[in-house]
Structure 1
Amino acid sequence: MKALRTAVMVASLGWAVASSMPVQAQTVGYNIRTGDVWVDTRLGEINDYGRRYRDPFVSEMTGYYGAPRSLVLDLLDRRGWAPADVYFACAIARTLGIPCLDVVQRYERNPGVGWGNLAKQMGIKPGSREFHALKNGAVGTYDRWGYPIRIDQRVSVDWSKHGPGQGKGGGKPAQAGSAKPDHAGHGQGNSGRGPGNSGKGNSGKGNGKGNGRD
């Protein structure tokens, strides 16, 4: 009987602590699952960039993706959203030509659905024109951050080696070009033009310049 009372007390305490936590802290969290490996990799890197270089990240969300600054800051600071979640919500919104807030509200109604399923529900299906536009948006973002890439290029980017400079649309790292291939045989850097990258890359160096517009 004593053991039962103790178990009940522990359970009650746990429920009270959980009840006192903000709802967003329990439901909103970084979730990579989009159904596309290339997009998942980019989101992981964008999440890292947003945590390291907050101001350039916020500027990218407001300047290029058109999200209100107040919304971006609210998501990051008060609602506990990860930078990658903020980015993907705004990227979906830009692809569909709707306000970022619309995507945010839809996601918050059912955060467990995951970004991949939500994008499909909103008409952005893998392989579709809309999905290609979504990926092309990431190409533009990376170009403005100083790392030109191509859609489906098997490359990984380490932001830790560079501090952000004053690049167009949100700031570029002071030095660009340390993108590394995920697997041997794919080459280093950026060896030409890619979708959404209107500049020329220097093979092996990755320091091409372009406006990144799609």
Structure 2
Amino acid sequence: MKRALPILILLACLAIVAPARAQDVAAYAPASGDAAVDRHLTDINDYAARYPAAFADEMSRYYAVPRAYVEAMQQQPDWTAGDIFMACALAQIVGQPCRAIVREWSRDHEGGWKAVAGRLQTEPGSPQYRRLRSALESTYRRWGRPQP
């Protein structure tokens, strides 16, 4: 019985944490207008939760965002890693600094990323959005992570 007690405690803890985590994942809705992009952004949240430094490295190295800025954004309660990725990847595609897209999202994101991208003339299906999907695929290759 003494050996079973730690296992029972662990199982009880998992029973409490697992539903909360499932609600977090279910609650995240990037609304990019592209189901594949939405799956990637949701998965990026999971990846960055486990590997925050690797996520910050990726954004800094390949999306030209200062690492300190990414780390500061990761600490913001209203920002997810998927949103950080989307803002900075879109910024690179449209030739603006990531901060400009962060401001645009913060100003108005009622229609999700699809609405923000539309205001940047980067609608789903456009050549720019295809570049976004390509950027996501490249990021996943660098991480050695399977596509979601």
TM range (shorter): 0.7 to 0.9
Q: How does 1:64-79 map to 2 (within 5 A)?
A: 64-79=62-77
The answer on 1:47 being equivalent to 2:41 is no
Partner of 1:152: none
SS in 2 for 1:67: coil
> Which amino acid in structure 2 is aligned with residue 52 of structure 1?
R
From 108, 126, 129, the counterpart of 2:127: 129
CA offsets, 1:36-74, max 9 Å, x none? 111111111111101111010000011100111222112
TM-score by length of 2: 0.76
2 CA distance for matches of 1:145 and 1:132?
20
Partner of 1:90: 88
Q: 1:38 aligns with which of 36, 39, 48?
A: 36
Structure 2 counterpart of 1:92, one-letter code: L
- State the alpha-carbon separation in 2 of the partners of residues 78 and 99 from structure 1: 19
The structure richer in helix per residue is: 2
* 8 A Cα contact 2:109 2:115, kept in partner: no
Aligned mates of 2:96, 2:85 — CA distance in 1: 14
Aligned positions of 1:10-49 closer than 5 A: 30-49=28-47
List runs of 5+ in structure 2 lacking aligned partners. 1-26
Distance 2:55 2:46 in 1: 10
TM-score, scaled relative to structure 1: 0.54
Q: Identity across aligned pairs (percent)?
A: 36
One-letter identity of the residue aligned with 1:66? A
1:31 Cα deviation after fit: 3.2
Give 3-state SS (helix, strand or coil) of 1:111's partner: coil
CA positional deviation for 1:147: 3.2
Greater relative contact order (Cα < 8 A, sep 6+) = 2
Contact 1:42 1:138 in 2 (8 A): yes
In structure 2, give the amino acid aligned to 1:44.
Answer: T
Distance 1:78 1:37 in 2: 25
**Structure-1 separation of matches of 2:135 and 2:116:** 18
Partner of 2:112 in structure 1? 114
Note the C-alpha offset of 1:128. 1.1
List 4+ stretches of structure 1 deviating above 4 A.
none
Find the residue that maps to 1:112 and give its secondary structure. coil
Taking the aligned partners of 1:53 and 1:148, their CA distance within structure 2 comes to 15
Matched residue pairs, number?
122
CA distance in 2, matches of 1:30, 1:83: 11
Separation in 2, partners of 1:147, 1:75: 23
Alignment RMSD: 1.7
The structure number with the bigger radius of gyration is: 1
Q: Partner letter of residue 67 of structure 2?
A: R
